[in-house]
Amino acid sequence: AIVLTGVLQALEKQKAALLSIAAGALIKLILNLTAGIPEVNILGAALSTLACYAVIFIIDITVLVRSGVKVSFAGALIKPLISALLCGAAAYAFSYFLKGKAGTLIAVIAAALIYFAALILLNTFDESDFSALPNGKSITEFCRKHRIIR
């Protein structure tokens, strides 16, 4: 949602970006107030945050599509979502079998490696993803040489 808000600002749609963030904040406030009951506990805060970002995302993507911007849902949403699900599953599996601080560290590292491996295997990256990075040209050449990008 934050990246899409930045894209809207770059397209001179600052008002739409502001309204989407305001709508998300309002949803978060309402849900925090209504979910602040002991039965829901800390889960209410997590759900309200998720709802906040979902509202921002839906509004931002709607404005982008209506603006004529072509959005690759597979590249922008589906592939990263699959990678994130694999990452979460790996983190859960590693933390289930490995306990303590060392187990947590191993779980986080393994999950991150699986996330990036999935992004690569699903051909999620292209040259434009690296162009804004420092040394973006050399990173792009390295990735092209090792078939990380298309």
pLDDT one-digit tens code per residue, 87-125: 999 999 999 999 899 999 999 999 999 999 998 888 887
Give the range among 5-19, 56-70, 113-127, 131-145 with minimum mean pLDDT.
131-145
Residue 150 placed within a domain: no
Average pLDDT, stretch 55-63?
91
Residue 51 placed within a domain: yes
Residues spanned by the domain of 61: 2-66
pTM, two decimals, is 0.62
Using alpha carbons only, give the angle 124, 110, 47 rounded to the nearest 5 degrees. Answer: 75
Alpha-carbon torsion (97, 102, 105, 109), positive or negative: negative
> Does 35 share its domain with 81?
no
Q: What is the pLDDT, as a whole number, of residue 1?
A: 66
- Which of residues 23, 47, 66 is at a domain's end? 66
Average pLDDT, stretch 42-56?
89
> Does 97 share its domain with 141?
yes
Residue 35 placed within a domain: yes
Q: Could you give the number of structural domains in the chain?
A: 2
CB 62 within 8 A of CB 19: no
